Amino acid sequence: MTVLEARGRTGGRLASKGDGLDLGASWYWPGEHRVAALVDEFGIDVHDHFLVGDAMYDDPAAAVRLDGNPIDVASFRFSTGADSLTDALHNRLESHDHSDVRLDSHVQSVRVHSSGVAVGVETNGNAGAEELDADHVVIALPPALATSAIRFEPALPSDLVAVAERTPVWMGAITKVVARYASAFWRERGLSGSAVSHRGPMREIHDLSGPGAEPAALFGFASTTASSGPVNDGDVRDQLVRLFGPEAATPLELTLTDWRTEPLTSPSGVEEITDYSTFGHRVFQGPTLSGRVHWTSTETAPVAAGHIEGALAAAERAATHIAEHTNQSGAPA
Ligand SMILES: Cc1cc2nc3c(=O)[nH]c(=O)nc-3n(C[C@H](O)[C@H](O)[C@H](O)COP(=O)(O)OP(=O)(O)OC[C@H]3O[C@@H](n4cnc5c(N)ncnc54)[C@H](O)[C@@H]3O)c2cc1C
């Protein structure tokens, strides 16, 4: 198997800084058994998300301390960052499964012909430099991105393209804010670090600290619209101070990741695609183009769509279809 990854790293929307703080996904939840099984199999360190203390409500009129924490639910976090999961998968593929993981390899075209598929890949800026042969191709990127960035030949069925183009990219229009501090000062005041806001710029905030509050951090999600510019650093600091007090004004590091501006996650105009009813749509559930092109991003999953768990469920479905096809035709996968 060959994995073609356009970025210079694996992980996609699982992206962590060196200190383990997540700029993309950070949680998985009880019942997400596919993630839990991989965590066990690879021996990845995880910890419970911090729930103790009071949450805050950022009302337009005033910041209000709530009694308890009605905001957070029980969940788990990857202690050295969520991309420890994709790093482990990457290592497994290369070391045990003898697969080839090629970074900086941007898929530009998928051409299905009578005996297989030719995949056009641009590597290090050499457009059209290489065409790889395969029996099957698994499209593991958001459908709206795939149909805008990859040329398919013959053309994809029009009903699939219509659904793909209106399938949102989960969190693709979000700016994730991560504020790292010298200590988890909010915990000392009996606060959980969580907040909901009707004022913004962050609409929700949670504790992102590592085990034992090391490193100490808060994170938040700020929504963006087609007309809004980038989230403003100063507004973020003002909101953190409003909710958690003066110490919040001086994080050691403040990182704003605007996922709208990540062209390998979000197609342009991503904020305008907002109808989540297409998640797990039937057009993605089976292979297309002579049974050789499979759809596996989290957006295509019939369960846990949007989550890491959904991406794993979709991948399982594609693997089953490829195995069935291979058994029927006797061809190698
Ligand atoms: C801010 C944020 C917070 C999130 N929080 C959570 C959370 O707490 N829990 C949770 O379960 N989920 C969360 N998610 C969602 C989670 O990250 C996704 O469900 C998961 O990453 C989906 O995996 P995927 O493989 O479907 O897509 P992706 O992770 O997007 O992977 C797609 C890959 O395709 C590559 N690619 C794109 N175009 C090409 C091309 N032309 N050629 C080759 N490669 C290409 C990309 O570089 C990328 O590596 C969050 C996401 C974000 C952005």
Q: What is the 3-state secondary structure (H, E, C) of the chain?
A: CEEECCCCCCCCCCCECCCCCECCCCEECCCCHHHHHHHHHHCCCEEECCCCCEEEEECCCCEEECCCCCCCCCCEEECCCCHHHHHHHHHHHHHCCCCEEECCEEEEEEEEECCEEEEEEEECCEEEEEEEEECCEEECCCHHHHHHHCEEECCCCHHHHHHHHCCCCCCCCEEEEEEEECCCHHHHCCEEEEEEECCCCEEEEEECCCHHHCCEEEEEEEECCCCCCCCCHHHHHHHHHHHHCHHHHCCCEEEEEEHHHCCCCCCCCHHHCCCHHHCCCHHHCCCECCCCEEECCHHHCCCCCCCHHHHHHHHHHHHHHHHHHHHHHCCCC
What is the number of other CB atoms lying within 10 angstroms of the CB of residue 61?
A: 8
Q: What is the pLDDT of residues 110-145, one digit of tens each?
A: 999 999 999 999 997 666 679 999 999 999 999 999
The one-letter amino acid code at 5 reads E
Ligand 1 pocket, residue 78 CB under 6 Å:
no
Q: Are 312 and 35 in contact (CB under 8 A)?
A: yes
Ligand 1 pocket, residue 143 CB under 6 Å:
no
From first CA to last CA, the distance across the chain in angstroms is 8
Ligand 1 pocket, residue 27 CB under 6 Å:
yes
Select from 4, 13, 89, 265 the residue to mutate for testing ligand 1; criterion: most ligand atoms less than 8 Å from CB.
13
Residue ranges for the chain with pLDDT beneath 50: 332-333
Q: What is the pLDDT of residue 129?
A: 73
Phi (first) and psi of residue 95, to 5 degrees: -90, -35
The one-letter amino acid code at 170 reads W
Ligand 1 pocket, residue 132 CB under 6 Å:
no
- Pairing state between β 2-4 and 100-102: parallel
Sign of CA pseudo-dihedral 18, 23, 24, 25: positive
Q: How far is the CA of 55 from the centre of ligand 1 (A)?
A: 29
Q: What is the pLDDT of residue 228?
A: 80
Q: How far is the CA of 328 from the centre of ligand 1 (A)?
A: 32
Residue of minimum CA distance from atom 14 in ligand 1: 25
Q: What is the pLDDT of residue 108?
A: 96
Ligand 1 pocket, residue 224 CB under 6 Å:
no
Ligand 1 pocket, residue 205 CB under 6 Å:
no
Ligand 1 pocket, residue 13 CB under 6 Å:
yes
Ligand 1 pocket, residue 264 CB under 6 Å:
yes
**From the alpha carbon of 310, which atom of ligand 1 is closest?**
19
Q: Give dist(CA 183, CA 250) in Å, integer.
A: 11
Q: How far is the CA of 146 from the centre of ligand 1 (A)?
A: 13
Q: Give dist(CA 175, CA 283) in Å, integer.
A: 30
Burial class (CB in 10 A: 0-12, 13-18, 19+), 270: buried
Select from 85, 141, 207 the residue to mutate for testing ligand 1; criterion: most ligand atoms less than 8 Å from CB.
141
Q: How far is the CA of 7 from the centre of ligand 1 (A)?
A: 12
Q: How far is the CA of 14 from the centre of ligand 1 (A)?
A: 6
What is the number of other CB atoms lying within 10 angstroms of the CB of residue 160?
A: 20
Q: What is the pLDDT of residues 180-215, one digit of tens each?
A: 999 999 999 999 999 999 999 999 999 999 999 999
Q: What is the pLDDT of residue 31?
A: 98
Ligand 1 pocket, residue 164 CB under 6 Å:
no
Q: What is the pLDDT of residue 333?
A: 44
Ligand 1 pocket, residue 220 CB under 6 Å:
no
**Which of these, 115, 116, 141, 207, lies nearest to 3 by C-alpha position?**
141
Q: Give dist(CA 147, CA 30) in Å, integer.
A: 33
Ligand 1 pocket, residue 106 CB under 6 Å:
yes
Domains, the chain, ranges and CATH? 40-81+173-261 (3.90.660.10), 104-168+275-329 (3.50.50.60)
**From the alpha carbon of 299, which atom of ligand 1 is closest?**
26
Q: Give residue 174's Cα distance to chain centre.
A: 11
Q: How far is the CA of 82 from the centre of ligand 1 (A)?
A: 11
Q: How far is the CA of 260 from the centre of ligand 1 (A)?
A: 13
Phi (first) and psi of residue 132, to 5 degrees: -105, 145
Ligand 1 pocket, residue 82 CB under 6 Å:
no
Q: Give dist(CA 181, CA 54) in Å, integer.
A: 19
